[in-house]
Structure 1
Amino acid sequence: MSAIASSPIVVPASSSGRPALKKSKTTGPSMRVLPLTPVAKQGGGSVRLIAEFDLELSSVVRLYALRLMETPDGRRIVYAPNGNGGRRLATFSPELAAEITKAATEKLEGHDIANGSNSED
């Protein structure tokens, strides 16, 4: 069996030492929310589940089963799903989290809700 030679993947680092992402905010114009499902049973905790959705972060990365949540003060935040053992499967920088939250909220606002109207009614 022959070994397959591979070139290392080089990801330029930003000044913070983290991999640099393309400009145009954090992800560029290719980020899009895929299927989004508003949640009727939002749970009884202080942070309510608003919707679940999939996300195409770029043409080469997709994330599934993300959750759009709403805090008691009305802020919306995004959580990645937990894996076995309860560990979060992904985390986001504050800037990327804000962009994902904004995109999911915009998709939700155009979506029909349980009573047959949309959230702009």
Structure 2
Amino acid sequence: CYHRNRCYQLLEEGERQRGFKYDLVVAARVDVLFLASPPLQLMHKDSLWVPDGMDWGGLMDRWAVLGRRTAKMWFGVWHEIIHRNFLQEQVLKLPAEMSVGRDPLHPLLGPELILARSFQGKRRCS
């Protein structure tokens, strides 16, 4: 999460230096290999596009195409964890979630679930 936050800081710094903001941001881990380019021309600047699969009950965090406003939320998970009681709130929910027979293959509070929950209660993008 911290490294995502740092990437976002560098993105904002670059935008300030160049005097413009990007419409779309592609977030990808260094171990992602693209066999084809994502269809960027189909994506709206207020959107979040995350591929299906490997989400472990949350949002797949290996790569995504983000609208500029959505990018702040995606890269800002570290800020949520540090400056709000985000993790404390999530940990308090665990006993109730464990009692409903959660799938043992999905971690209770992995990075994908933390990412998905950081978007909950915020303006959704279509």
TM-score where L is the length of structure 1: 0.25
Q: RCO higher in 1 or 2 (8 Å CA, sep ≥ 6)?
A: 2
Compare the two structures and name the one with the higher strand fraction.
Answer: 1
Higher helix share: 2
* Higher Cα Rg, which structure: 1
